[in-house]
Amino acid sequence: MGNLPDIPTDSALARLFEDERAQGEAVWFSLPGGATLYKAGEPSNQLYFLRAGRLGAFRGEEGQELQFLGVIRPGEPAGEMALIAGAPHSGHVVALRDSEIFALPRDIFFEAAEDDPAVMTELARLMILRSRQAATKASVGEPSVYGFIGVGETVPIRPLVDRVAREIGRLGYMVTVIGAEAQHAPTEWFSDVEREYDFVLYAAEPSDLGWRQVVSRQVDRLFRVGRGDLPPPAAGVLTDRDPLQAQNLADLILVQKRDCVRPQGSEAWMDAAQPARLFHIRRENAEDFKRIARILTGQAVGLVLSGGGARAYAHIGAIRALREQGTPIDFVGGVSMGAIIAAGVAMGWDGPEMDHRIQDAFVNTSPLDDIAFPLLAMTLGNKVRERLTTHFGETQIADLWLPFFCVSSNLTKGAYQVHRRGLLRDALRATISLPGVLPPATDHNDVLVDGAVLKNFPADVMRVFQPGPIVGVDVTRGRSITADDVARPQSVWRWILSGQWRKGPPIVSLLMRAATVSSWRDHVAAREATDVLVAPEVAGVEIRDWGAYAPAVAAGYQAMKDALAKLKRPITELRRRPGRRDPAPPTAAAG
């Protein structure tokens, strides 16, 4: 069998495959790109070793999108944790490109390991390293090879990728851009380049037909690039042989005109390309190219905002503090009122516009005073619908400047529903439809209510879409509702004359708080998914007090300022991966 390519000859794992028993029992096979090596729940009866190509590791709950965990590169094992533990595999491993793999049966592995204790030591060191990376939220086997393919009548791809590469270089990494000149290079040449640089970017013009096929099967993640001011090509975008598309690792970049105010027509591109993520960049806009560089290097910042009624005004103060510190916001998502504010960020509202629009929609007059006979809810919901139309109009989620999502609770299916496409105001109407307070929304035959019912702080949903730092703001923690909040008014007429009825009756507080109570498990999950978790002190703001704008905003601002002051480095660098130019970290003893 000989020494394995890309594996140090003194590696204990390399020696393992030189063992006479392994020589007779190890199985070599090819795994085409897109094929599955193993799935979660399957028995772990072999140790796999990657000789060439790349594998991707995934995990996820049934019925939800799989989360991409990282890349397994040549010279690395797969399935070792389950094998050692004698347990079924906990995740899925799929070939990202055509790969060559050795498989060693479990019993042969343990027999050979007994003769060479260094094998177990090396595997233990690897497992400890991966476990520590997971515990500290560092990415494991991050993607480093990206492909950019022009689709339809697009802008020249090479200059665009060169500009992204310059921004990556300014972040301190070694990066190179390779075009069609490498179309006929041998496989070893690609491997050598990928070992030499922190990031490799392959650029293919629409006319580079042969090179496009090479690129689509040579990278960890693929970006198709089209012109946002034109419809997708009539001939289509997708191809039959594209493993990254099947693994949800193909994204879309739409290049907009430099003076574009709001993208339009992106839904047609979403239908044609079916991307995992959509990004908009304007020609000659430096900030947009910096955002793409952060996304590629794992330094993009995701912001997640919880629900919480009027207390969600605190999110506005938190955003103000982030912007003052210069922290970029690259992905944004939320639930209920948090989703409303997150949508404003994705729309591109600056601080003054955010203040004006939120106060106009919610503060100046109550959105919940169109009281109705409670057949479905205590309000008609007309005022909420009108205000969403006023401030978000006919905007499609795909036409937002930033990737955005919000979450509603699907009562028909008994699961939360993530909104990433469609009419923005419809998605927002669903995510704020608090049961008993607002009439439910519908999606075909499905009944949708406030996302807070099932997932009030969707930081884990954000983690599926992006591997960079996540900042979460949760306004539902701490003391929230007391007996005074639900006390029956001594005089209904006095309560009406005082204007307190505009907040809604006390039952509104009860319903809103009941829907936004998070379990201890939810708090733990939120902490695990976020890198910075901020909990503003908003106990003094009643959950239905829509006029309590100033104190809630101030609380959010102060909480974020305090959280930022405790950080030892900028948020963008909380998950920074080491580059080849960085000093080597000290070796830590396993234990």
Tokens at 216, concatenated: 């689509």
Asked if 227 and 153 count as a contact pair (C-beta separation under 8 A), the reply is yes
Q: What are all long-range contacts of 281-289, with beta carbons under 8 Å and residues at least 24 apart?
A: 281/253, 281/254, 281/255, 281/256, 282/255, 282/256, 282/257, 282/258, 283/155, 283/255, 283/256, 283/257, 283/258, 284/258, 285/258, 289/163, 289/164, 289/167
Which residue bears the tokens 């104190």? 551
List the 221-227 sheet strands across, edge first: 175-178, 199-204, 145-150, 221-227, 250-256, 278-282
Report how far residue 521's alpha carbon sits from residue 298's, in angstroms, rounded to the nearest whole number.
27
Pick the catalytic residue from 336, 409, 433, 518.
336
Asked if 488 and 314 count as a contact pair (C-beta separation under 8 A), the reply is no
Q: For residue 410, what is the DSSP state?
A: E
Residue 363: phi and psi, rounded to 5, are -90, -50
Identify the H or E element spanning 550: helix 549-565
Residue 419: phi and psi, rounded to 5, are -100, 115
Asked if 557 and 320 count as a contact pair (C-beta separation under 8 A), the reply is yes
Tokens at 411, concatenated: 């009562």
Question: Count of CB atoms within 10 A of residue 588's CB?
Answer: 9
Q: Which residues contact 547 (CB under 8 A, 6 or more apart)?
A: 310, 363
Closest CA to 92 of 30, 34, 31, 36: 36
Pick the catalytic residue from 450, 474, 531, 545.
450
Which residue bears the tokens 């002051």? 565
User: What is the dihedral sign for C-alpha 177, 180, 183, 186?
Assistant: negative
Identify the H or E element spanning 203: strand 199-204
Report how far residue 116's alpha carbon sits from residue 573's, in angstroms, rounded to the nearest whole number.
40
Closest CA to 173 of 294, 260, 80: 294
Active site residue 229: no
Q: Which residues contact 187 (CB under 8 A, 6 or more apart)?
A: 52
Residue type for position 397? I
Which residue bears the tokens 């990494």? 173
E strands within 53-154? 55-59, 67-72, 77-78, 92-95, 99-105, 145-150
* SS3 call for 236: coil
Tokens at 306, concatenated: 């919880």
Q: For residue 278, what is the DSSP state?
A: E
* SS3 call for 553: helix
Active site residue 562: no
* SS3 call for 354: helix
What value does the CA radius of gyration of the chain take, rounded to a whole number of Å? Answer: 26
Q: Give, rounded to a whole angstrom, the gap between the first and last alpha carbons of the chain.
A: 35
* SS3 call for 221: strand
Residues recognised as catalytic: 336, 450
